[in-house]
Structure 1
Amino acid sequence: MAKTSETRLGVVKTFLSISQNSKISLKAVSIDNAVFKLHYLLSHKLLLICTAFVCGHQYLGGHIDCIADKGISSNVINTFCFSTSTFTVVNNVNRTRLGAMIHPGVGPVDLDSEEVIHHAYYQWVPFVLFAQAMLFYIPRLVWGHLEGRRVEYFVKGFEFAPLELIDKEVKINRDLRIPAASDRCVRIAALRRAFVERLGYNEYWAASLVFCELLNAANVIFQSYAMQKFLGGSFLNLGLEVMYPDGDVDRLDVVFPKMTKCTFHKFGATGSIMNHDALCVMPLNAVNEKIYVFLWFWMIFVGVMTMGGLLWRVLTLCLHSRWEGFTVALLKMSNSGALDHRSLQKVVMVMKFSDWMLLRYIAKNIHGIAFKEMFDGFCEELGFEEPDESAFTTLGEETLPLDSEEIIS
C-alpha cells in the first residue's frame, strides 16, 4: 500500500515539474457538436479572413483606376466611378474586333438603346463579408445565452479527475489545484444527485439547442440567397458555371469584370453638358471572384453538413430510448468509461430525450473514470436495485450469466 502511494505521489510530482515549465490550459466546456463548430468557428473565421483580404487593397492593388480625358483629374474620375457605379455592355460581352477578343463588356455603346449591366457591389464587399461572419456567430451567442451554463454547472470541478491519485490536495500554480482523491467521491455523489433531481426539467435546454441548430440551417439558406441578390442573380450557379463553362467567355469575367466603363458628366464653359467616357480597371475583382467561388463551394459543404446534423438529431430522437445499443455506442463515443448494461437499460427507461442529451454532454466533458463512478450509482439514486456485478460483465463484453446452474435452480 505504501509503495502504491509513493508511485501515485511520483506521478503527481512529475506533472507538477512539467507544469512549472509550461502554461496549464483547461479545456473549455463543450456545449455543442462538430457541425455547430463548423458555423461559429470555421465559417466565422474564414469570412473574417476574406474581409481582411479585401480590406488590404493597399497590398493587392487599388479598388479602381480609370482612364479619361486629360481635362479631368484621375482622382476625380476614380472617386466618382467608385462611389456611383461602373457598367459593362451586354452586346459587347462576346464581340471581336480585328480578329482579337476585346475586353468582355467594353466597347462602343449607345446608352439610350443598348442594354448595360451596372456594377456597384464592389463598394460593399468588405461590409457584406463582415456581416456574414457575424451572422455565422449569432446562433452561438444565442445558444450560449439560452444554455445558461448548465453543462458547466454539472462538470465543474472534474478537470483534474484523472490526476486525483492521492488523498492530499496538490497545488499546481497560484490559480490551479488538484483536489484530493477523497473529495472526488463527494463531488461525484453531488453531481449524480443533482442530475437525478433535474430529470424531466431539461426540455427547455434541449429545445433551445435544437432551435439554434435550426437557426444555423436557416442562416446558410438566407446567406446563399442574400449573395444571389447581392451579385445580381449570379451566385447560386456560379460554381457550376465555373466548372462547366458555356461559350468562349469566362463567366467570372462577366460577373466580376476587370475592365468596365464609366460615364462622367461635366458642364462646359457655356453651360452645356459634356460626356466623358472613362475606361476603368478593377484589380480587386481578381480577389473578389476567388473569394465568392470559394464561398460557393464552402456554402455547399456547410449546408450538406448542417442538413446531416439535423437528420442525426432526428435519428437520436427516435432511437435513444428504443435501441439500447445505440445509446451504448454514443456514450462510448463521448466517454471511454465502461458502463453496466443493466444500469444503462434502467437509466434510459426513465429518461426523456432532453435528459438523455444532457447526459451525453456530461459524458463529453468529464473523464471516463469520473463518469463511470457517477453512472454506477444512478440506479440507487433512481430507486432501483443495484445490478449484480458478479453475474454480469461490463459494457463491451457479452452479457451472460456466469453459472447457468444457478439460473436453473
Structure 2
Amino acid sequence: MSGLVKLGVPLDRLKYLTKIKAVTIDDLVFRLHYRFTFTAILVVSILITGEQFFGKPIKCIKGAGAEVPEKLIESFCWVEGTFTLPKALIKAIDKEIPAPGVEQFYEKDEVLEHSYYQWVSLVLFLQSLCFYITRYLWKKWEKNKIKGLISGLNKVILEKNEKIKTCEGLAKRLVDTRGKYNAYAFRYFICEVLNFLIVILQMVFINWFLGGEFARYGINVLNYIDRDPNLSEDPMSRVFPKLTKCTFRQFGPSGDIKRFDNLCLLPHNILNEKVYIVLWFWLYVLVIASGLMVLYRLIIMAFPQSRYYLLHKLHHLVQPKHFDTIITHYSYGDWFVLFLLGKNLDCMHYRDVIEEISKRLDNTGDEEEPLQNHYNDDEYDASESKV
C-alpha cells in the first residue's frame, strides 16, 4: 500500500478500487418517496409529538367571572376544539382586532372550527408510513434477485479467471431465462403507479383534514406575501391560527347556563403552518415527478427503440451493435433486469457481460473466440488498473 502511495496513487482512488457498491433496485424518484419524504415527515412528526406531550400545546385565559380552574378550561378547549371568526380575518390588527380571527362573538356569527391540531402528529406519522408502502412491497417482490445476479461483479477489481467465469455465467443465465422477467418488471411498474396514487390520495386526505383549505394553501400564501397584510386575509392565520377563541359553558347558581368566552394560544401552529406550506410544495413536486415517471415507463414499454437509446447513452463502453442485438431478442422484462444490472455492475464488467450475451443471442458463440480470448493480458491489466 505504501509503495502505491509513493508512486503517486491517491488513497481515495485505492478505496474506489476496493469499494463494493450498494445494490440499487430502484430509481431516484422511487427513492424520493421512501427515503427523503418518509424520513422528513417522520422526523417532523416526532418533533411535534415531543412538543405536544412534553411542552404545553395550549394556553388559555379564562373568561371573566368563570370559577373553573384554568387547567380545566385548557383541557376542555384542547379536547373540544377552538374557533376563529372569518369576519375578523381581514380587519386591521391593533385598530379593530387583537389578532386575526379574534373578535366579539355572537351566536349568529359564522365560525371556523379548529380541532385538527390534536391529531397533527399522529396523522403525519401515518402519512410517513404510507410513503414506505411501495418500498416494502418492492422488497418483498424483488427477493434480492438483482443481488443474486451480480455475483460480485460490482467490485472494480476481480481476479482474471474469476471475472471471466462470472461474466460468462451471468451472460448464460440471462440468455437461458429470456422472457421470464416480465412479471418482475411489471411489479416494479405497479409500485411506481402506487407511488403516484399515494401522493394524490395524500393530498386529497390533507385537504379534507384541514377543512378544504389545503388545495390552494401554497398559492394563497404566495399571493398574500405581495399584499398589504391589513387589507387581505392571511391564509396561514385562517388555517393555523395562533390565537383562538373557546366557549366554556356551565350552570349558574339558579340553574341557568352561563357562557364564558376564553382566549387560547396555540403555539404549535407556528410550526404547523411552516410544515404544511413546505409539504404543499413538496407534494406537488412529488406528484409531478411520479406522474412523469409513470409516463416514462409506459413509453419504454411501448417503444423498444427507447430502450436501446437509454442503454446506449448510459453505457458508452459497449458497442451499439450489441445493444441492438439484445433489444431485438429481449422483451421489456429482460431489458429491465439488464438496466438494473447496469446500475450495479462495474462498467468494464458490464461491457463484457453485454458482449457475451450478444454473441450468444446471435448463436455465434461457437464460431467466435471465447470470452477469455477477448483481450490479452496487457489489455486486461490496463483496463483493471483504470479508475
* Both proteins in one fold, TM over 0.5: yes
Residue in structure 1 matched with residue 375 of structure 2 by the alignment? none
**Greater share of residues in helix:** 2
Count of residues in correspondence between the two structures: 356
Residue in structure 1 matched with residue 323 of structure 2 by the alignment? 344
Cα distance in 2 for partners of 1:59, 1:265 equals: 27
Tell me which of 40, 64, 68 is aligned to 1:72. 68
Do the aligned partners of 1:86 and 1:261 also contact (CA within 8 Å) in 2? yes
Cα distance in 1 for partners of 2:236, 2:360 equals: 65
Specify whether residues 31 and 97 from structure 1 end up closer, same or farther in structure 2 by C-alpha distance, changes over 3 A only.
closer
Tell me which of 37, 45, 51 is aligned to 2:39. 45
In the alignment, is residue 32 of structure 1 matched against residue 26 of structure 2? yes
Specify whether residues 68 and 314 from structure 1 end up closer, same or farther in structure 2 by C-alpha distance, changes over 3 A only.
same
Cα distance in 1 for partners of 2:92, 2:282 equals: 36
In the alignment, is residue 280 of structure 1 matched against residue 253 of structure 2? no
Cα distance in 2 for partners of 1:260, 1:43 equals: 31
Deviation at 1:156, TM superposition (A): 3.0
Residues 238-293 of structure 1: CA distance to partner in whole angstroms, max 9, x if unpaired?
11111113742311111111111111122344544332221101111111001001
Residues 336-379 of structure 1: CA distance to partner in whole angstroms, max 9, x if unpaired?
5x223332222211111111111111111110111111111113
Do the aligned partners of 1:262 and 1:278 also contact (CA within 8 Å) in 2? yes
Cα distance in 1 for partners of 2:179, 2:187 equals: 15
In the alignment, is residue 322 of structure 1 matched against residue 322 of structure 2? no
SS at match of 1:94: coil
Deviation at 1:332, TM superposition (A): 4.2
Cα distance in 1 for partners of 2:241, 2:355 equals: 66
Q: Percent identity?
A: 28
Cα distance in 1 for partners of 2:215, 2:176 equals: 50
Cα distance in 1 for partners of 2:61, 2:44 equals: 29
Of structures 1 and 2, the one scoring higher in RCO (CA 8 A, sep 6+) is 2
Specify whether residues 371 and 282 from structure 1 end up closer, same or farther in structure 2 by C-alpha distance, changes over 3 A only.
same
Letter in 2 for 1:55: T
Do the aligned partners of 1:155 and 1:365 also contact (CA within 8 Å) in 2? yes
Specify whether residues 344 and 73 from structure 1 end up closer, same or farther in structure 2 by C-alpha distance, changes over 3 A only.
same
SS at match of 1:244: helix
Cα distance in 1 for partners of 2:184, 2:288 equals: 25
Deviation at 1:61, TM superposition (A): 6.0
Cα distance in 2 for partners of 1:312, 1:34 equals: 13
Letter in 2 for 1:110: Y
* Superposition CA RMSD, Å: 3.0
Tell me which of 335, 340, 344 is aligned to 1:356. 335
Residue in structure 1 matched with residue 145 of structure 2 by the alignment? 150
TM-score after normalising by structure 1 = 0.79
Letter in 2 for 1:219: I
Letter in 2 for 1:94: I
SS at match of 1:322: helix
Deviation at 1:310, TM superposition (A): 1.6
In the alignment, is residue 184 of structure 1 matched against residue 163 of structure 2? yes
Cα distance in 2 for partners of 1:191, 1:307 equals: 34
Equivalent positions of 1:151-166 (< 5 A) are 151-160=146-155, 162-164=156-158
Deviation at 1:58, TM superposition (A): 6.6
Specify whether residues 251 and 277 from structure 1 end up closer, same or farther in structure 2 by C-alpha distance, changes over 3 A only.
same
Cα distance in 2 for partners of 1:252, 1:382 equals: 63
Cα distance in 2 for partners of 1:103, 1:15 equals: 62
Cα distance in 1 for partners of 2:344, 2:112 equals: 55
Do the aligned partners of 1:61 and 1:284 also contact (CA within 8 Å) in 2? no
Do the aligned partners of 1:331 and 1:360 also contact (CA within 8 Å) in 2? no
SS at match of 1:63: coil
Deviation at 1:299, TM superposition (A): 0.9
Letter in 2 for 1:137: Y
Do the aligned partners of 1:200 and 1:351 also contact (CA within 8 Å) in 2? yes
Specify whether residues 155 and 332 from structure 1 end up closer, same or farther in structure 2 by C-alpha distance, changes over 3 A only.
farther
SS at match of 1:265: strand
SS at match of 2:131: helix
Deviation at 1:329, TM superposition (A): 4.3
SS at match of 2:23: coil
Cα distance in 1 for partners of 2:50, 2:258 equals: 36
SS at match of 2:132: helix
Residues 26-70 of structure 1: CA distance to partner in whole angstroms, max 9, x if unpaired?
432111111101111111111112213312327996311000046
Do the aligned partners of 1:331 and 1:363 also contact (CA within 8 Å) in 2? no
Residue in structure 1 matched with residue 193 of structure 2 by the alignment? 214
Shifted more, 87-96 versus 300-309: the winner is 87-96
SS at match of 2:305: coil
Do the aligned partners of 1:61 and 1:283 also contact (CA within 8 Å) in 2? no
TM-score after normalising by structure 2 = 0.83
Letter in 1 for 2:273: E
